[in-house]
């Protein structure tokens, strides 16, 4: 099939590349001409395991990128994968969705056959039906007999997004008509995964609910972790026992500094703000966010309890990315931690295998080191914030510190007598 993907970010690029890998003819449209140039020259603008190999195989053959929307008229499916940044009140900003919908609509004026416009971006329930559909129909001058609408959320984890795309737990296809739903299902015919058909609004809600539930599991584990630490019980042992119940499952029960990334904080805030906008009080979702905001600051308090005042002390932060195997620092738990350290007058030295460049834009004033040893030398305290596997091998490096106080925000170290945020 012919597909146009609008938006060459994490979701659009990975989905486009994977659709091309499974044999479709894909055009990725992005306003950023440097990104378009990189994709066409087989260089992924982001790091994703396996992505470069797919670009090498498909770019210039059945995958290309463009700044223009020309491919839309001819595409069986045009898929919107643009960002929905968080507004100040926590709600999702739909400006890019609107732009994409009207540009697709204008091109569809020229189309001859039946076309499907699908939304893959995470959007508030009702957006495809009440916002995208009227905008595309208005701009194209066509009717629902000519264009079908679908909502096909993604569940990709950064770092292993290609694997997740190719091995989905389920494929959610929300559509306004059976015909549109069948065309979207056909896109995935080479991929093994159960398909569930719903209305577009239910598909939008499935995405928010999945992320809200996973975030709830993490905040729940963190609250239990804080209680376990006070009791002197190992929360990882507790959650192992709890997760063996098949009704609970062992995943996403790892206590620590809380969740970051481009999805969980933004999506939980968005769904809470949608609820409040309808006069509801989403107490549970608000608590999930409250626990997550407080958790990183607990590690600074633990450090202060052990090291005393942090004024003029050198504190090492190991790990800046929001999780391991990525250079992404969006909503990383390290950001509020560094902020709290600086506001207490500490000097911060940091190390991350991939994310120093990104963090430099937020905190240019701290010291960025090329190795854990450089960051740890003469330090008065160390906070381990990201679960990078290489940190599990650290041992003698800690003896370079002036005072060997090491506290983990993620359970990763293998040194004895380690202290963690909830253990
Ligand atoms: C997430 C969802 O998993 C994915 O389905 C969705 O489409 C986008 O958001 P991602 O943000 O890439 O993916 O990362 P994920 O691996 O889910 O981790 C999110 C955050 O939760 C990270 O900060 C991670 O460290 C944290 N986390 C995860 C925990 O604190 N404990 C856990 O047990 C699991």
Local confidence band at 264 (pLDDT 50, 70, 90 cut-offs): very high
Q: Mean per-residue pLDDT for 322-350?
A: 96
Q: Report yes or no: 200 and 193 within 8 Å, Cβ to Cβ.
A: no
Indicate the average pLDDT of the chain: 96
Torsion sign over Cα 153, 100, 5, 67 = negative
**Which of 209, 264, 324 for a ligand 1 pocket mutation test, highest count of atoms within 8 Å of Cβ?**
264
**Which of 240, 259, 335, 385 for a ligand 1 pocket mutation test, highest count of atoms within 8 Å of Cβ?**
259
183-187: which pairs have CB atoms within 8 A and are 24 or more residues apart? 183/1, 183/76, 183/77, 183/116, 183/148, 183/150, 184/77, 184/116, 184/118, 184/150, 184/152, 186/1, 187/1, 187/3, 187/19, 187/24, 187/77
- Does ligand 1 lie within 6 Å of residue 218's CB atom? yes
Q: Which atom of ligand 1 is nearest to the CA of 156?
A: 7
- Does ligand 1 lie within 6 Å of residue 363's CB atom? no
Spatial separation of the C-alpha atoms in residues 42 and 22, rounded to whole Å: 17
> Is 122 domain-assigned?
yes
Query: Same domain for 31 and 137?
Result: yes
Q: Mean per-residue pLDDT for 44-64?
A: 95
Cα of 64 vs centre of ligand 1, distance in Å, is 30
Q: Could you tell me the CATH number of the domain that includes residue 103? A: 3.40.50.720
> Is 209 domain-assigned?
no
> Is 20 domain-assigned?
yes
Local confidence band at 68 (pLDDT 50, 70, 90 cut-offs): very high
- Does ligand 1 lie within 6 Å of residue 165's CB atom? no
- Does ligand 1 lie within 6 Å of residue 296's CB atom? no
Cα of 10 vs centre of ligand 1, distance in Å, is 15
Query: Same domain for 63 and 169?
Result: yes
| Number of H-type helices and E-type strands within the chain | 15, 14
> Is 262 domain-assigned?
yes
- Does ligand 1 lie within 6 Å of residue 260's CB atom? yes
Cα of 135 vs centre of ligand 1, distance in Å, is 33
Q: What pLDDT, in 10s, does the model give residues 152-189?
A: 999 999 989 999 999 999 999 999 999 999 999 999 99
Q: Which atom of ligand 1 is nearest to the CA of 215?
A: 21
SS3 of 164, please? helix
Give me the domain span that covers residue 237: 233-423
Q: Report yes or no: 212 and 220 within 8 Å, Cβ to Cβ.
A: no
Q: Report yes or no: 339 and 362 within 8 Å, Cβ to Cβ.
A: no
Query: Same domain for 355 and 254?
Result: yes
> Is 90's pLDDT higher than 80?
no
- Does ligand 1 lie within 6 Å of residue 322's CB atom? yes
Residue 367 confidence (pLDDT): 98
For ligand 1, atom 11: residue with the closest CA: 261
Query: Same domain for 132 and 248?
Result: no
Local confidence band at 199 (pLDDT 50, 70, 90 cut-offs): very high
- Does ligand 1 lie within 6 Å of residue 168's CB atom? no
- Does ligand 1 lie within 6 Å of residue 256's CB atom? yes
Residue 85 confidence (pLDDT): 87
Spatial separation of the C-alpha atoms in residues 385 and 409, rounded to whole Å: 5
Local confidence band at 417 (pLDDT 50, 70, 90 cut-offs): confident
Number of neighbours of residue 45 by Cβ within 10 angstroms? 18
Q: Which of 144, 179, 198 is the last residue of a domain?
A: 198
- Does ligand 1 lie within 6 Å of residue 235's CB atom? no
Q: Cβ contacts of residue 232 below 8 Å, gap of 6+?
A: none
Spatial separation of the C-alpha atoms in residues 323 and 143, rounded to whole Å: 45
Cα of 154 vs centre of ligand 1, distance in Å, is 14
Catalytic residues: 263
- Does ligand 1 lie within 6 Å of residue 154's CB atom? yes
Q: What pLDDT, in 10s, does the model give residues 98-150?
A: 999 999 999 999 999 999 999 999 999 999 999 999 999 999 999 999 999 99
Q: Which atom of ligand 1 is nearest to the CA of 161?
A: 12
Query: Same domain for 37 and 136?
Result: yes
Cα of 255 vs centre of ligand 1, distance in Å, is 12
> Is 282 domain-assigned?
yes
> Is 218 domain-assigned?
no
Query: Same domain for 246 and 350?
Result: yes
For ligand 1, atom 25: residue with the closest CA: 323
b/e map 49-63, b = 16+ CB within 10 Å: ebbeebbeebbeebb
For ligand 1, atom 3: residue with the closest CA: 157
Q: Which helix or strand (DSSP H or E) is residue 41 part of?
A: none
Q: Cβ contacts of residue 387 below 8 Å, gap of 6+?
A: 319, 323, 324, 410, 411, 412
> Is 165 domain-assigned?
yes
Query: Same domain for 122 and 261?
Result: no
Query: Same domain for 242 and 348?
Result: yes
Residues above pLDDT 90, as percent of the chain: 95
SS3 of 421, please? coil
Query: Same domain for 10 and 58?
Result: yes
Cα of 261 vs centre of ligand 1, distance in Å, is 7
Cα of 266 vs centre of ligand 1, distance in Å, is 12
Residue 87 confidence (pLDDT): 80
Cα of 280 vs centre of ligand 1, distance in Å, is 27
Q: Which residue has the tokens 């370079």?
A: 400
> Is 204 domain-assigned?
no
Residue 416 confidence (pLDDT): 80
Q: Cβ contacts of residue 71 below 8 Å, gap of 6+?
A: 2, 4, 27, 29
Number of independent structural domains in the chain: 2
Q: Which of 183, 198, 213 is the last residue of a domain?
A: 198
Query: Same domain for 158 and 271?
Result: no
Query: Same domain for 246 and 375?
Result: yes
Which ranges constitute the DSSP H helices of 327-406? 334-343, 356-362, 372-376
Spatial separation of the C-alpha atoms in residues 7 and 30, rounded to whole Å: 5
């Amino acid at each position: 099939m012919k597909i146009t993907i609008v938006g060459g970010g994490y979701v659009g690029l990975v989905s486009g590349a994977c659709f091309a890998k499974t044999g479709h003819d894909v055009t990725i449209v992005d306003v950023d001409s440097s990104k378009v140039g990189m994709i066409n020259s087989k260089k992924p603008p982001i790091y994703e395991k396996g992505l470069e190999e797919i670009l090498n195989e498909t770019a210039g053959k059945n995958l290309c990128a463009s700044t223009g929307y020309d491919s839309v008229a001819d595409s069986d499916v045009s898929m919107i994968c643009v960002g929905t940044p968080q507004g100040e009140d926590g709600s999702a900003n739909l400006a890019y969705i609107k732009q994409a919908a009207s540009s697709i609509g204008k091109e569809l004026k020229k189309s001859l056959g039946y076309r499907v416009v699908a939304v893959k971006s995470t959007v508030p329930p009702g957006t495809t039906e009440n916002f995208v559909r009227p905008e595309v129909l208005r701009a194209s001058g066509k009717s629902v007999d000519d264009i079908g609408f679908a909502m096909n959320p993604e569940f990709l984890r950064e770092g292993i997004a290609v694997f997740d795309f190719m091995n989905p737990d389920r494929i959610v296809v929300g559509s306004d008509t059976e015909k549109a739903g069948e065309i979207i299902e056909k896109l995935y015919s080479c991929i093994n995964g159960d398909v569930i058909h719903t209305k577009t609004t239910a598909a939008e809600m499935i995405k928010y609910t999945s992320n809200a539930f996973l975030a709830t599991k993490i905040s729940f584990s963190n609250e239990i972790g804080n209680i376990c630490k006070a009791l002197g019980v190992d929360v990882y042992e507790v959650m192992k026992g709890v997760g063996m119940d098949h009704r609970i499952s062992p995943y996403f029960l790892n206590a620590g500094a809380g969740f970051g990334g481009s999805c969980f904080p933004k999506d939980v805030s968005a769904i809470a703000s949608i609820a409040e906008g309808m006069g509801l009080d989403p107490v549970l979702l608000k608590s999930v966010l409250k626990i997550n905001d407080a958790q990183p600051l607990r590690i600074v308090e633990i450090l202060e309890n052990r090291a005393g005042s942090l004024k003029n002390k050198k504190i090492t932060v190991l790990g800046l990315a929001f999780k391991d195997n990525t250079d992404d620092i969006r909503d990383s738990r390290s950001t509020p931690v560094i902020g709290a350290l600086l506001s207490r007058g500490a000097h911060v030295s940091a190390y991350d295998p991939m994310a120093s460049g990104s963090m430099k834009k937020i905190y240019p004033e701290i010291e960025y080191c090329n190795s854990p040893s450089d960051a740890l030398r003469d330090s008065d305290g160390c906070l381990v914030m990201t679960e990078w596997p290489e940190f599990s091998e650290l041992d003698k490096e800690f003896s370079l510190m002036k005072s060997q106080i090491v506290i983990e925000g993620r359970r990763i170290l293998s040194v004895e007598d380690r202290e963690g945020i909830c253990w």
